[in-house]
Amino acid sequence: MLMLCPGDKEIVKGYLSGFEEAERAALVEAYNTAYQSGFFGVRRQALNYLALHCAFEKRFGISPFTVSKGVLLEFSTPIQLAGEEWISIAV
């Protein structure tokens, strides 16, 4: 669960700027690495994952993360790049 605090938007924007410059394959790799690691309960990690979610929405139009009620961030499944899109991989 992630509750945004003052200053968090600027942190997310900083992470997002790095993701916006990344190739599609790098975004998929970043997601899969995050999926394997999971959440540690570190706030900065959650903000980084939120930025990655936003980058996926901007680049692909859809994200493998699920965001519920703006505060709950969850992984779906591992993914792979398929042309210009990503697809889920069965676990």
pLDDT in tens, 15-60: 999 999 999 999 999 999 999 988 887 888 889 999 999 999 999 9
Name the domain count of the chain.
Answer: 1
2 within domain boundaries: no
Secondary structure of residue 5 in the 3-state scheme: coil
60 within domain boundaries: yes
3 within domain boundaries: no
Lowest mean pLDDT among 3-17, 50-64, 69-83: 69-83
27 within domain boundaries: yes
Dihedral, CA atoms, 17, 64, 47, 67, nearest 10 degrees?
Answer: 120
Rounded Cα gap, residues 45 and 13, in angstroms: 14
1 within domain boundaries: no
- Domain of 16, in residue numbers: 8-88
17 within domain boundaries: yes
Q: Please tell me the predicted confidence (pLDDT) of residue 69.
A: 73
78 within domain boundaries: yes
